[in-house]
Structure 1
């Protein structure tokens, strides 16, 4: 069965400052799980080692699975507290693969547990293979975990369906943070791009710190992503084991660990990225995907801030084509299905089959009507002349499409929603612009997300001015999105227009326009995958 890769590569370094070195010291590095080295792992549930050295905790053969992998040797909790050497529980790259029909779920965790066996009575799904309804929150569990949760569970007061949390004896995290945005970084467990996580426990200070960064950024941020007080000296178990738990619920999901480095009384050695095993490859045709193909391939909505990153990348690309290259390039067919995404969700503008190149400051001399219905500026119907402003108009439609998760024309929608631009403008006029946001993104947004959503929608509407001369240039669009230019101009709602309203009163044109719209199952949505 074909799979779409929804990956999060998480580099975790956990340093626990407990006490002086003794005969209990442990030091290992798994650059993949190969050969005799895996005899030191206790694997339970559906977990297994793949032929190429991946630790697969769950698979897609069935629902409601639980998988565990723990290092066989314990570290005793009775190590005296401390001087200042440390216990580094590991550097682990992890990833998950989900079936193309599924949403992302449920999650995985790095666990400190008094048992290395299948945790008795633990349930899959929202319980992450760690607890069940009866023992959730029981202090005698003696379990501390850092959860990477991709499903929101209201009964545990989860903040959203994309967060990192610290759990102590239960799944109501003592502290958690959404991973979609932190500082100036774009992050998501569903984003398909690598993250780094550092987890530090100090026995002297009784604190557990979790620090998160994008792998691309490289260096460690100055402050922790989240922090809480934890006292492992109060654990009643004689020994503690470290390892992983992962589970599934309704949705078919494979969770993988690529490598793991561990050391007591010191820093864990770095992993060798060149030796890490290769993840299962999606189908060849999905290695370079456009937004239209993605919605057919999966039903997972990528976190909005990842969509925002793609919008900004395409805006920068159009700006470069219009102003920065040696010649001006008009794309003439800017639309979602011409946006290509790589494995790290970097957006690139593709399909230049209709594009035209001309000298800066000269007339492009294009008079033949080209483009795609729903993205075409109103003046194209009258003149057939493509300009930078017509590209800007199409980009405005694209921006609305990204936020709303639907095509610009949907003949199956309620009458007031058939035309996306009209619907967004009407909601803005009524002071409820966020009503148009793709429901697959949820409704409990962070304030920062709400600000960015409204920004993209308003900039998109500015690009849709019926008067070409009143539309912003792509340079201004990029500055608006980066908040270099502020305040944002008011959207002239009375000046908005789209093809169906400017094509005259002929019903034939309207019918042709609606019949040209793609079927509902081809609605373009940004979705996760690699």
Structure 2
């Protein structure tokens, strides 16, 4: 029986006195959504989708599009005075659709960035990075769903699920056959961070046709991103008329927990993904 158990916090103690928690849950987006900052081409449709990139009047995706959406309240991911880091889990669903599944582009990402973050490079840079160079001053961690091979930085000529740290070049990745999922299939994603072992884990599941992928990487948020950050999504289409796709976020939940100083914390949450329940991942709760 195949079970993936994701521990957000593995370090336990009986001395927990207090902690700082932040959470939100959006099961359906609304056109008057107050807790999102929309950047670039991002918009919310009357049907309750967070549409990151532009479509025409017939719903066809357009090239040269870049859109981002950020949660409006900054998230504290570590404490400068104590050195403590927060654990977090985020769960979201998305769908992409392309007129031609052989020319999908470019992809989308969940990312963590400085509070004043602004849209960056188009195309394969996914609106997150200004160029392909690794630069610690970027202070960005991202989980990317890359549907197009960019020869300058992408691995092994394959679309992939990747973890990016201060560069668009994925630190770790798992090949994903996005070509077979570009017809509007719903994807569900769980991203977790364990501050004790400094492990970021991202799992991607397509309930139909029951395909799952997972990637993990060593990431130390305390030395990578600022104490206060924004979390959000970014997506881009290609720089050619043929290389396009839609990028729609369907739902989004997030929870973080920062322990009080001098105290260790009990496990925040444990999420189990069982292959018998691949068609029911929306049952995940925080």
TM-score interval (norm. to shorter):
0.7 to 0.9
Q: Does 1:28 align with 2:1?
A: no
Q: 1:228 aligns with which of 214, 217, 241?
A: 217
**CA distance in 2: counterparts of 1:41 and 1:21, whole angstroms:** 32
Deviation at 1:155, TM superposition (A): 0.5
**CA distance in 2: counterparts of 1:132 and 1:86, whole angstroms:** 28
2:59 equivalent in structure 1: none
Structure 1 pair 149/211, CA: closer, same or farther in 2 (3 Å)? same
**CA distance in 2: counterparts of 1:31 and 1:190, whole angstroms:** 22
Looking at secondary structure, tell me which structure has more strand per residue.
2
Larger gyration radius, structure 1 or structure 2: 1
1:127-276 equivalences under 5 Å are 127-133=125-131, 136-180=133-177, 189-190=181-182, 193-215=185-207, 225-235=214-224, 237-249=226-238, 250=240, 251-265=243-257, 266-267=268-269
2:275 equivalent in structure 1: none
Looking at secondary structure, tell me which structure has more helix per residue.
1
Alpha-carbon contact 1:147-1:166 (below 8 Å) kept: yes
2:55 equivalent in structure 1: 60
Structure 1 pair 103/201, CA: closer, same or farther in 2 (3 Å)? same
> What value does the CA root-mean-square deviation take over the aligned residues?
3.6
Secondary structure class of the residue paired with 1:126: helix
Deviation at 1:22, TM superposition (A): 6.0
Q: Does 1:114 align with 2:111?
A: no
**CA distance in 1: counterparts of 2:125 and 2:42, whole angstroms:** 17
Secondary structure class of the residue paired with 2:148: coil
> Which ranges of structure 1 fall in alignment gaps of 5 or more residues?
1-12, 182-186, 274-530
Secondary structure class of the residue paired with 2:34: helix
What CA deviation, in whole Å up to 9, does each residue of 1:289-324 have, x standing for no partner?
A: xxxxxxxxxxxxxxxxxxxxxxxxxxxxxxxxxxxx
Secondary structure class of the residue paired with 1:234: helix
2:274 equivalent in structure 1: none
What CA deviation, in whole Å up to 9, does each residue of 1:136-181 have, x standing for no partner?
A: 3111101111110110011104223421111111111111111139
Structure 1 pair 108/45, CA: closer, same or farther in 2 (3 Å)? same
**CA distance in 2: counterparts of 1:44 and 1:170, whole angstroms:** 21
Secondary structure class of the residue paired with 1:259: strand
Deviation at 1:227, TM superposition (A): 1.9
Structure 1 pair 178/197, CA: closer, same or farther in 2 (3 Å)? same
Alpha-carbon contact 2:135-2:167 (below 8 Å) kept: yes
1:435 equivalent in structure 2: none
**CA distance in 2: counterparts of 1:206 and 1:242, whole angstroms:** 18
Q: Does 1:97 align with 2:97?
A: yes
Structure 1 pair 155/254, CA: closer, same or farther in 2 (3 Å)? same
**CA distance in 2: counterparts of 1:127 and 1:189, whole angstroms:** 21
TM-score by length of 2: 0.73
What CA deviation, in whole Å up to 9, does each residue of 1:1-55 have, x standing for no partner?
A: xxxxxxxxxxxx998549979675222111111265x211111100001112110
Structure 1 pair 149/77, CA: closer, same or farther in 2 (3 Å)? same
1:324 equivalent in structure 2: none
Deviation at 1:255, TM superposition (A): 0.8
> Which ranges of structure 2 fall in alignment gaps of 5 or more residues?
57-61, 258-267, 272-279
**CA distance in 1: counterparts of 2:141 and 2:152, whole angstroms:** 19
**CA distance in 2: counterparts of 1:100 and 1:260, whole angstroms:** 28
Deviation at 1:267, TM superposition (A): 4.6
Secondary structure class of the residue paired with 2:152: helix
Aligned length: 247
**CA distance in 1: counterparts of 2:197 and 2:256, whole angstroms:** 18
**CA distance in 2: counterparts of 1:55 and 1:178, whole angstroms:** 26
Secondary structure class of the residue paired with 1:233: helix
Alpha-carbon contact 1:125-1:247 (below 8 Å) kept: yes
**CA distance in 2: counterparts of 1:115 and 1:14, whole angstroms:** 28
Deviation at 1:71, TM superposition (A): 0.6
